[in-house]
Each structure stands twice: as C-alpha cells, then as structure tokens.
Amino acid sequence: MMTHLSVSLFAAMLAAAGIPLYIHLPRFATSELGLSLSTTGAVLIGIRLMDFAQDPLLGRMADGLARHRRGLAGLGVTGMAAGFVMLFSIPPVLDATLWLVLALVLVFTAYSLASILFYAQGVAIAGDGPAAAHYRLAGFRETGMLAGVVLAAAAPTVLARLGDPATAYRDFGLLLAATALGVGAVTAGLWSAEPRRQPAAGAAPPALSFAALVTPEIIRLLALALVNALPVAITATLFLFFVEDRLNLPSLSGLFLLAFFLAAGLSAPGWSRLVARHGARRVLVPAMILAIVSFTGAAMLPAGAALAFGAISMASGAALGADMVILPALFASTLASRELPAGAGFGLWSFAQKLALAIAAAIVLPALDMAGFTPGGPNTTTALSALTFAYAVLPCILKAAAIAMVFGLPAEETKT
C-alpha cells in the first residue's frame, strides 16, 4: 500500500509539468512576457521537435542504466524544480522569447526523464502479473496525477486571491519547485523495486535500437494515444481564453478547473474497475462519446452560462478520467506481455503525449491570432466564433477519429 501511495504522490508532482503548464503558459506568455499567441505556439512546437530526438534516447538511457534509476529520478526532479523557478519566478535576464525557450527546455527535459523512469518503474512494480495488476497500479498513478493537475491548475488563481495578484506566477514557480523537491525526497523508496530484465553487472547497455518497439500493436497504441490526447490538449490550451473571453466568467475559471479535474480524479477508480471487468474497448468508446457530447454542449453555450458550463466541465472531466487510466495501463500491459523494453516504450509514449499538447498550441494559437482574437481585449464576433470552433468543435472531430481507431484495435489488445 505504501508503494501505491508513493506512486500517487510522485504522479501528482509530475502532473504540474503537463496540462497545468499548457493551461497557464499562453496567458502567462502574453500578459507577463508580452509575447504574441503565434510566438508562444512556435516556441511550444519547437520544444516538441527537440523531444522528438530526446525522449526516445532518454528512454533507452533509462533501460541501459536501470540500476541507477533512483539517482536519475533525483536528477529529473531537481531539474524540474530549477526549471519552474526559472520559468515563473525569475524575470527574464535575456530576450523574453529566448528566456522562455531555455526555461521550457530545462523543465520539459527533466520532466521527460522523470516521467519515463516513473512509468518504466511501474512495469517493474507490477511485474509479470496479469493485466489487472497494471490497471490497478494505473488507478493509483493516474488518480494521483489528476489530483496534481487539480492543485497545479488552480494554484495561480488561489495564490492571486490569497496574496498579491501581481506576484501570483512568481509564487507559483516557487511552490512548484518546493513541491518537486519535497515529493522527490519522501518517495525515494519507490525506486527499490528491481527493474525487469535488468542487465548483469558489467554488461553493456542495450543498443540504441527501437526495432523491438516497431510492431503493429505498439504503433497502433501510440497513434491512438496521440489522436486521443489532442482534444484535451486543445481545450487545456484554450480553457482560460474560452472562460474569460467567450463566456465572460473570469472569476469562475478556478472553480471550473476544479470541477473538471475533480470529476476526472473521482471517476478514475471507477473506470479502472470497469475496464478490468469489461475490457478496454467496451469502456473507452462510451467514455469518448461522453467527451463528444460535452464538447458539443460547450459550443452551444451563450455568454454567462455558468451552471451549464460547470456541468459540462464535470462531464468532460469524467471522460478524461477514462482516457488517463485506461490507455497508459493498456500500453504498459502490452509492453509487459510482449517483454518489450519499458523505458524506451514510455519514452515514445511520453513524446506522443507531449506532442499532442504542442500540436494543439502550434495550430490553434496562431490560427486564433490570424482570426483577430486578442486575449483579454475587445474581440469581434468572428474572433469569438473562431475561439468556439477551436475549443469545442474541433475536439469533437478528433474524438470521433479516436473512436474509429479504438475499433481498429485487435481484440487481444483490449482484454484484461
């Protein structure tokens, strides 16, 4: 049980460098650094291009240095803490764009290393047991991650209300850094489980080849993960803009985020039990349909519809809970059953997840810029319509594509 609690806690810490950053970065970059939406989108996709080469290599390093995972995890946690401070708490001492790039490189490189090690260690903890063991572990991991997302996403709003709004982001960076270091210290025992098939003492690390992972099963799951993550990535990137500029409810943004992620976190254990009983495909498809219904409802809302958007936030959050529990566990189970390298596998998985966030930012932010949308400023009907399409309609199209991909999975890949 202590191991599972450590898994939840470490996952919560990692979550701060995922969706919450993409929720707040567009607003932070435009209001605090003075950058345009197009520049912000270009920076984010550029970081992901770096990850294209970096994440798989980090995954191979995690496999080749499996005996040193604890030390590597400490390095990743420390790097995240330093990156958070540089990003939010230290005023740029260089060109604002260059400073943002350097800070994000540090944050995301450290995050990649820590998350790859973490997911690979999950395979070691679950071992060669049945797929249900991976789903049970995933329930703790993803519930913790969702709890971390809730806290990190709401933290700037809470800090602004409790203290000086002008220093909320600075305090946010310091809080994230302190949390990363504290969690890294108290979860050090998480790395005591022996990695599966660890190399013998003195043996050379595996060759830097990903041929073992280039299988139809793995490619299908990675493609599904990418397409399925895009709707959430888009809504996360545009969430504050939609609430503040489209619904005219800026004071309720924190409550909506809380409702969204609490629904995801509270639903995660239920989704985990359902998939263990009925199989991944039978549970994934209804959850994806729930997401489509939620996005459709958001597209039809008038300004000021607080109660309706609150309900939509809870429904779409519940759908997110299914995505975050089922797909990583399905991928982990596939790696374990085929005895594929976990570190390299989750290096590719990590890249697919972050690529979805970057694609979302790189496409929708410049598109909104071209449509004349101005965050926090006066906007035309055309600009607000473009925001509505990007936030609510485009995710429906992408979710429909993800559903088709789920039906394309072989039956054996959806068994538990």
| CA dist., res. 108 & res. 79, Å (int) | 9
State the average pLDDT over residues 116-129: 70
User: Which segment, 119-128, 334-343, 371-380, is predicted with the most confidence on average?
Assistant: 371-380
Q: Is 70 exceeded by the pLDDT of residue 416?
A: no
Looking at residue 128, what is its pLDDT?
52
SS3 (DSSP) at 94: coil
Cβ atoms < 10 Å from Cβ of 161: 11
Q: Helix, strand or coil for residue 330?
A: helix
Sign of CA dihedral 8, 10, 13, 16: negative
pLDDT at 165: 85
pLDDT at residue 286 in the model = 92
Q: Which CATH class is domain 2-191+213-414?
A: mainly alpha
Report how far apart, in Å, the C-alpha atoms of 400 and of each of 218, 228, 289, 295 are.
21, 9, 8, 12
Q: How far apart are CA 234 and CA 176, in angstroms?
A: 23
* pLDDT confidence bin for 412, thresholds 50/70/90: very low
CB half-sphere exposure, 233, CA atoms < 13 A: 26
Short-list 114, 115, 136, CA closest to 127: 136
- With CA atoms as reference, report the closest residue to 28 among 76, 100, 98, 83: 100
Nearest to 136 by CA among 360, 416, 383: 416
Higher pLDDT, 132 or 368: 368
Split at pLDDT 50, 70, 90, the class of 296 is: very high
Nearest Cα neighbor of 391 from 297, 299, 264 is: 299
Whether residue 393 has pLDDT greater than 80: yes
Per domain, the residue ranges of the chain are 2-191+213-414
pLDDT for residue 147 is more than 60: yes
Interacting residues of 352 by C-beta distance below 8 A, sequence separation 6+: 222, 225, 226, 229
| Ramachandran assignment for 193, one of left (phi > 0), alpha (psi -120 to 50 degrees), beta (any other) | beta
> Alpha-carbon distance 130 to 353, whole Å?
25
Burial (Cβ within 10 Å: 0-12, 13-18, ≥19) of residue 75: middle
Band (410; pLDDT cuts 50, 70, 90): low
- In this prediction, residue 274 carries a pLDDT of 85
> Which of 128-142, 370-384, 386-400 shows the lowest mean pLDDT across its residues?
128-142
Lowest mean pLDDT among 88-92, 304-308, 405-409: 405-409
- Best mean pLDDT range from 44-58, 208-222, 236-250: 236-250
Q: How confident is the model at residue 193 (pLDDT cuts 50, 70, 90)?
A: low
Task: Determine the pLDDT at residue 4.
Answer: 75
What percent of the chain is predicted at pLDDT more than 70? 86
Radius of gyration of the chain (CA): 20
Q: What is the pLDDT of residues 206-220, one digit of tens each?
A: 444 456 667 777 888
Helices 2-15 and 168-186, axial angle in degrees (round to 10): 150
Instruction: Say which residue, 141 or 234, is predicted with more confidence.
Output: 234
| pLDDT at position 320 over 60 | yes
pLDDT (0 to 100) of residue 266: 84
C-beta separation of 173 from 63 below 8 A: no
Give the mean pLDDT of the chain. Answer: 83
